[in-house]
Amino acid sequence: MEIILSVNNLEVVYGGIKALQGISFVVNRGEIVTLIGANGAGKSSTLRAISGVVPAGAGSIIFKQKEITNLPSHLIARGGLSHVPEGRGVFTKLSVEENLIAGSYLRQDKPQIAKDMNNVYEMFPQLGERKKQLGGSLSGGEQQMLAIGRAIMSGAEMLLLDEPSMGLAPLIVQEIFGIIKRINSTGKTVLLVEQNANQALKVANRAYILETGRIIMAGNAVEMIDNPEIKRAYLGGH
């Protein structure tokens, strides 16, 4: 299998506190890999360091065999990596269509941009129906769809999704995870950070469990769902 992302001994420090204590993991092309763990485990810090939002204090990040450690965010995005942050971050004063067009600002390939726009509307019919509506007037679920749609418009080969189900009703959560599977089936690689460990393990190929900035377990997602220790700690099982 081809490794698309390799994180090696990554450390992130906030004000003298190590949020990440030298973690290492890989993501293979075409996989969905999930990072799970409690609040404050370092999941979001991992994504932010990969996408250049926060600096790596030590270690290296290799994407498509090129080192991207501490490169500016826009260069990392241009290289094919798109980060959908926690809280969605849609442009509230722009229309749905303008938000999607903004996602493609680093691209020149107009025919493919138009094709991707059609694909987004096909994948998210609600966005197609609301293309002239302002981003800020959408429901939480629709804003999450718009944020993911905007990432697709960047032409990225790999998506970093941070807590896509946060604050959404259970039915919408199901829909979002179905969409993540569908995006993955088009050939895009996904690194997913998610507090809803149960749902994340159902869609992922592999998982890494973080605890206080360290990876404490890694393995096949299906096997993790059946692991009694993980059930107890993360899945609300007994």
The amino acid at 129: E
Q: What is the pLDDT of residue 238?
A: 43
- In this prediction, residue 236 carries a pLDDT of 66
pLDDT (tens digit per residue) in 36-68 = 988 889 999 999 999 999 999 999 999 999 999
Q: Given the DSSP bridges, would you call strands 58-63 and 32-36 parallel, antiparallel or unpaired?
A: unpaired
Q: Structural domain boundaries of the chain?
A: 3-234
Domain 3-234: top CATH class: alpha beta
Cβ count within 10 A of residue 152: 23
Q: What share of the chain is helix, strand, coil (3-state, %, to 5)?
A: 40, 30, 35
- Tell me the C-alpha to C-alpha distance, in Å, between residue 33 and each of 109, 215, 222: 29, 14, 12
- Position 24 pLDDT exceeds 60: yes
Range 170-176 average pLDDT = 91
The two three-digit tokens of residue 202, written as one number: 């159902």
Distance CA 91, CA 96 (A): 9
